[in-house]
Structure 1
Amino acid sequence: MKIISAEQVGNRLNDWRIAIRKHDVHNAKTIYTELKELLQEMEENQEVLTYYSLLEGKFKLMLYERRGKKLNEPTVLEYPSKTNDLIEYYFYLYKALYASYNRDYASAIGLFKIAEKKLQNIPDEIEVAEFHTKVANLYMMLHQSLISLHYIQNAIDIFKGHDGYERRLAAAFVIAATNFMDIGDFKRAENYYTKALHISNQLNDHFLASQLYHNISILYAEAGESKKCIDALEKALSDDNYLSSCYFEHSMFMLLKELLSIDEKSQALYYFDLVKQKQEIDRNPIYTAKMNFLYHLYFTEDISKKAQTCFDDISILKELKDVEGARELSALAAKHFEELGSIHQAYLFLKDAYQLEHTTLNWRNYDEKSEFTHFRFSHRCFRTNGVLQFVK
């Protein structure tokens, strides 16, 4: 068997790294298949194997972000004992990203801080843009919109100056749009989504367009425009690849919630049947609980039974640590029971929503997690003077 040099494999790994950070799914998959064969014939080299493992982790995260492929098990990584700055940076970046994916935000922040220090030794604008995008995304999830906007603007400036990073630019536009939505500037948020959709059309990327339409639906829901929200969600669900991804559940939940909010129960029942068929193949306990909650809230007639089953569904979300989801549904139930004139049940759900919000606030300000509200990343990372996505 012919032995392949570590240098040859390393060069191909660099090609893979570029494809991954461009979110070029087709090329990244092709190189991944090739590399698995090359590694079997490569001479012994631990540094190259470590580099491959780190890139494999980023590759899996990229497939989740760009194609909705679920992350089942993390890539097992050991701290690289003898390596270079880039590998050390990727080690901490990957662990930070996976911690963020698992909603372990305290660990993610600490790991991002270490990754930032490693990044100072890497003179690569695109790596800086990617890092600032991930930090902006974390602050966005923590609803620190103005800080997130600061970081994402820097990423946008960099991506704009480099060809081949249009998908990353579109993702950055989504983060900017989400932040503007959170501070109530719906017009600017819509403008950023329009820019991102223009990119998806230029690239003829239907999956990206579906992701964008899902995010736009959230904007319209926040603005109280149910018809526009439903139209955007139906566009998102029109792509077959999107339907087979884990993002299907997010969009379907949004669609059912909006249909039921305007009393379109017949159409909602049609979609409930589709959800049931999907769940027989791939069951997600969080979204199963959310779908069951919607069905019980709007189709169970007995008030006492309706309230009890809804509380049971919310309890499942709490057990699964989806605190924000539980709070959202408690608030929705409170409004619904108030409209029915069931003031006692409305009060119980409203109290639950308040307690969940209070718990979330306490959790974010707990001593060992004070970084959520007080920590700021430094600006020693490479910055540009360029002129002036995730998908939630």
Structure 2
Amino acid sequence: MISITSAEVGMKINEWHRHIQKFNVTDAEMLKAEIERDIEVMEEDQDLLIYYQLMAFRHKIMLEYTLPSDENRMELSEYLKKIEGHKKKLDNMRAYYYNFFRGMYEFRNGKYTKAITYYKKAERKIPTISDKIEKAEFYFKLSEVYYHMKMTHISMHYAELSYNIYKKHELYSVRRIQCHFVIAGNYDDLENHEKALPHLQEALKGAELLKRKNTHIYATAFFNLGNCYHKMDNLNKAARYIEQALVQYRKINSDVLPQAYHDLALIYFKQGKKQQAMDCF
């Protein structure tokens, strides 16, 4: 079964909303059905589901006005009153999710400047979002895009904002680990590897508790530690951690395998282990 990202579904919801605004009932109905099929195979994303529910409510009100039943006929004045009753909350949430998912979409396509533009628009609506986990997720996404753009201190600021919320909620262990990865990555970019290490060690400690459920993040914790030690020229520890990462990545046939073999080959060459290096190569 083919999976679809929440960012792609979010873009479809944005298009769905445009059809609702224009009272394009047929197009809106077709797109709604397509989105519901996509959600069945989509990666898990609670924010996306909230956005979908918000738009489904808006869609229902449109239908009550444009295709009223005999028992439930709605006049234009009623329609406007119903929308206005929810308008401020709807407008704030719609604007937030529209820009949030557009930002995610641009990020996935490597258009980081565009992603930031949309994320910053979403950020203006953050004061209206009461759910702290929603805020943590948003801050994490900002930390990611700024990390990829090497805007180190800004990335760390948002990663710490996100982590400080997630650490109070036991169920969000994966996001806490990912926050450690981002903070450590920023320290590595600053060539302050000693400060990166505690975050990577904490990430590995958390990932060990998830190794049966999330092999990928367990492998990545080893891999990131190995790369950090490589940058510190501690080749023995670097090799040991990347070897452990490879064991885990092979279990899931990860697409990170070529990079892990490449990095381990470099380390073996530096250690003078030519045959092992060539095997990895």
- 5+ residue gaps, structure 1, are 1-19, 21-43, 63-79, 273-392
For the residues of structure 2 that align with 1:254 and 1:60, how far apart are their CA atoms?
31
- Is the 8 Å Cα contact of residues 201 and 225 (structure 2) preserved in structure 1? no
> Higher relative contact order by CA 8 Å / sep ≥ 6: 1 or 2?
1
- Is the 8 Å Cα contact of residues 229 and 235 (structure 2) preserved in structure 1? yes
Q: Secondary structure, in 3 states, of the residue corresponding to 2:247? A: coil
Change (3 A) 1:259 1:52: farther
- Please state how far the C-alpha of 1:91 moved relative to its aligned partner: 3.7
- Please state how far the C-alpha of 1:140 moved relative to its aligned partner: 1.5
Is residue 256 from structure 1 mapped to residue 272 from structure 2 by the alignment? no
Matches within 5 A, 1:142-181: 142-181=149-188
Change (3 A) 1:140 1:258: same
1:187 is aligned to 194
- Please state how far the C-alpha of 1:97 moved relative to its aligned partner: 2.1
Q: Percent identity between the aligned chains? A: 23
1:125 is aligned to 132
- Is the 8 Å Cα contact of residues 133 and 165 (structure 2) preserved in structure 1? yes
For the residues of structure 2 that align with 1:90 and 1:255, how far apart are their CA atoms?
41
Residue type at the aligned position of 1:221: H
- Is the 8 Å Cα contact of residues 187 and 195 (structure 2) preserved in structure 1? yes
Q: Secondary structure, in 3 states, of the residue corresponding to 1:143? A: coil
For the residues of structure 1 that align with 2:277 and 2:225, how far apart are their CA atoms?
20
**Cα deviation 1:176-198 (Å, max 9, x = unaligned):** 11112222322221101111111
- 5+ residue gaps, structure 2, are 1-5, 7-27, 47-54, 60-89
**Cα deviation 1:90-141 (Å, max 9, x = unaligned):** 3432332232233211211112122223444321111111111111111112
Residue type at the aligned position of 2:146: Y
**Cα deviation 1:139-192 (Å, max 9, x = unaligned):** 112222222111111111100111210111111111111112222322221101
- Is the 8 Å Cα contact of residues 237 and 243 (structure 1) preserved in structure 2? no
Paired residue for 1:99, among 93, 99, 106? 106
1:280 is aligned to none
Change (3 A) 1:55 1:138: farther
Residue type at the aligned position of 2:167: K
For the residues of structure 2 that align with 1:135 and 1:57, how far apart are their CA atoms?
26
Matches within 5 A, 1:30-109: 52=36, 59=43, 82=58, 84=90, 85-86=92-93, 88-109=95-116
Matches within 5 A, 1:1-392: 52=36, 59=43, 82=58, 84=90, 85-86=92-93, 88-204=95-211, 205-239=214-248, 243-272=252-281
Q: How many residues align?
A: 214
- Please state how far the C-alpha of 1:236 moved relative to its aligned partner: 0.6
Please report the RMSD computed on the Cα atoms of aligned residues, expressed in angstroms.
3.3
1:381 is aligned to none
For the residues of structure 2 that align with 1:193 and 1:112, how far apart are their CA atoms?
27
Residue type at the aligned position of 1:211: T
Residue type at the aligned position of 1:160: K
- Please state how far the C-alpha of 1:49 moved relative to its aligned partner: 5.3
- Please state how far the C-alpha of 1:226 moved relative to its aligned partner: 2.0
How high is the TM-score relative to the length of structure 1?
A: 0.48
Residue type at the aligned position of 1:260: F
How high is the TM-score relative to the length of structure 2?
A: 0.65
Change (3 A) 1:267 1:221: same
For the residues of structure 1 that align with 2:222 and 2:192, how far apart are their CA atoms?
18
